[in-house]
Structure 1
């Protein structure tokens, strides 16, 4: 641990002392925070390049630490450890982590993932969280509801066929003071026209289960099954249930096109395949299928070398790829729509390929150097496998070349 602290000194923990990422350790009070409850939750770690064997440590900032300041090792207390966890088929590590029951307020959850091999590469992550101030959720007594039932979710005068295709059904949850807490919306389509109530309720229930420990639930208590559930096909027999009866809700229907939804529809004057075009082709991106009353349309290039563009009569973006060099380029453009005080955006990315690529001869596999699953390889070692020559980027054993992905150990 002393070697770790020497490599990643106080103040650099959130960016692992990598100067290119030092912005993640900036002194700032407005980091986006995830609402959490004390108690146990499942942490899912997306591993684009899994590493085993490895081990895990989870820390939380001590009470009283100013989390707007650059993080120091003495600010942290260890709350969970795991040894070598198997990565799932979806390349995700999953572990249960417990936030102490007596914690509340803003904190930083600090993750250390450490390879347990000769290389010893480490990965470090800061997660900004707010722990709910009312303490952990006490488990309900068996057989008893733990929320208080309020008004009906769908008013009696609303039938399943009332909202029409194109309209939005909405549900707003209010706090005990009558202040809007969260709004949920669902656009009626042919596919959901007979099931919109359950889908809207599932938005509410999923959000409050994930972010507020289930303090709001649309449905009602099922005594025999000893839990809350939404009763399908009982449109007027589901209710808003809230902790201590302090919340309320309001159902509404909005006319078509009230809410903006940005949809980017690519049209290429010469056929686009696999999100790529050849050098010299014109690319046309159009917002014509966007939903909503749109006042303004804005296009911005957000990645890649600057390229010459023009705006068409219908707000489409015309991209002239012949203004680039005849080399492979990755370009991204953001479409932003504004209307009636709302704004939405989306991004479209594609690759411009050179018109002619003449590949040079690749390295010929060396005889007698086939990959061995039991052998240990280190950075620079080369092996043959499935007709190709592979180079190891770091220490590895048992990882088959061709299966470790673009950023994996074998290239």
Structure 2
């Protein structure tokens, strides 16, 4: 049954028309949580793989952009009161990413999306607004009982169960009671449309994967973090130089951005190869890589975009190429943009490994860190590793030119390190930069040693795969794997090898 509140579709005032100007990126469904928010919170965006298979598939298709831009699932539709115009602008299969081709991984078919339990009947829907938009109206759709959830969402899969008019935000969130038919149970998708009443017709579209139940469920947690109310970063130079346009980069070119610290030393670098799919969007994708990486690893102390006074947050201004800036907590830091064209290229990629999952580019004192170039591409004749910042460390090079860092040899305190990989052949070079933080470990009191026991027999097998910290017996000795390995014989990998 459709529950409908009064909708106000008013004639636009001058104020609302002006307020809508190029403002994008403004929130997500918090309860039940939108799928892009779930993927963003899981990790595995900048190193490794998201633990959820559906999120991992989305990353394979679209990269990190859909997760970083979790509050920008929007599209402008001038004729927004005409539902057929909305369906034409957001065709079947594109609903969960508002037909933004750079986020299409979030609409791909997969049975593994994480689901939120929602009580049948009336529950309180919550939308986290990173920017509040009024006047506006809301529409809530639920998949029909016979909808095939293994396929991308289509309009015929949905039924409109409720509409709401203008809602006032409280504490940066919109709250409203939504009623799910009491005879429904099982998996479903709640599709929410939040439509601004403005000249541009900006609307926001979120998919929440849910399981409808008929028992008590845990309500969403209260967000304790207050939102900032004024700029907290120092604005620097423009992100894209004035003499550069989107057409300046051709398909096959690489656009790059370096972040330099207060000493003009490279702290991080980001690059994007121009393709037919991203040639009109490469600026926002590159900026998203910078913003997302610094948000997840450095507390957001660098942001590409600018502060929006009305919305009280930093944002990247899409379709306004030269109005976005390098912003940093340190006024002495800076950014550097470049475009490179190579006929036959090599691509340097650093793949980090540690003895446990790398969480937000952070390791604990005592961990081994292994940086490899295994994901790099092209014919390479020379591999070189350089340390560009941080307390000097002893760099050990493995048999496959991997860089091995023994953090136990360093003081047990917080340190940040940056390393550069240089690949080259007779005609070209390429580089990649990786930074990580070493956190101090807890010091435990030593215990009395126990008498060693004689090993029973050899347990190592050349056909078996071993992961970090697995122990085998070989040739009468005990050997511990330092990282992933297969078919490497203990005792032959050297002092800094995988078996020790």
Scaled by the length of structure 1, what TM-score is found?
Answer: 0.39
More strand per residue: 1 or 2? 1
Larger radius of gyration: 1
Structure ranking higher in helix proportion: 2
Instruction: Please report the TM-score for the alignment, with normalisation by the length of structure 2.
Output: 0.33
